[in-house]
Amino acid sequence: MSTYPIEYTRTRNINTPRYWDVAAKRMRDITSGSVRVVRRVKAILEGLPAMPVHEYGFGHTHLGGRLEPGIWHGFDFSPRTVEDAEERGLRATLRRCGDAEDPGCACVVALETLEHLDHEEMMRFLNAVQTAPRAFFSVPLMSLRDTRFPQHMRGFGGGPDLIAFLQKWWPKVKQEVVRPHWRMAHCWRPA
């Protein structure tokens, strides 16, 4: 059993539009880690037919700008982030993760997003999107090295905890390390 259980009981949620509007300004150039994660997601998607991809908490739209035009739809609750995506010609909607609806898409993506949600919002999000046949999540493991956000330092515990947690929604979960102290989980339902 991990020292840092995945189903944490965090009650304070720093995810406010104001917080991320400010973060978007200061983080424009802090993207190298995210770019590596996005390359891995794109590599997995390349072997599949073009399919709708819904990304939640998309931040700087790294993924939206790298997929075939028209298949990506981003959801974020930062007005600045949504406006930036629309200016780049990408389809974006202002919405909290916890207000997600049945996606009606083939793949749901949340890159470096789940660790920022409190328990209630994370559970509402995962329950709402569980009908997607595939999902990609990237989350930090417990790390004292990433000091940009306190949530990253909390992390998600060990690998087996993450797999067991996500199997509550998707029966198949494969995870891999995409950079030190970071995991990506590919979740899917058998065809």
Contacts with 179 (C-beta within 8 Å, 6 or more apart), sequence order: 33, 36, 37
**Interatomic CA distance for residues 185 and 118, integer angstroms:** 19
The answer, yes or no, to whether residue 54 has pLDDT greater than 90, is: yes
For the four alpha carbons of 62, 118, 167 and 127, in that order, the dihedral sign comes to: negative
pLDDT in tens, 1-35: 333 333 334 444 455 666 666 666 655 544 444 66
Average pLDDT, the chain: 75
Question: What are the domain boundaries of the chain?
Answer: 30-188
- Going by pLDDT thresholds of 50, 70 and 90, the confidence category of residue 73 is very high
Going by CATH, does the domain composed of 30-188 fall within 3.40.50.150? yes
Q: Does pTM surpass 0.75?
A: yes
| ∠ Cα 182 95 170 (to 5°) | 50
Distance of CA 90 to the CA centre of its chain: 18
pLDDT in tens, 90-117: 999 999 898 998 888 888 999 888 877 8
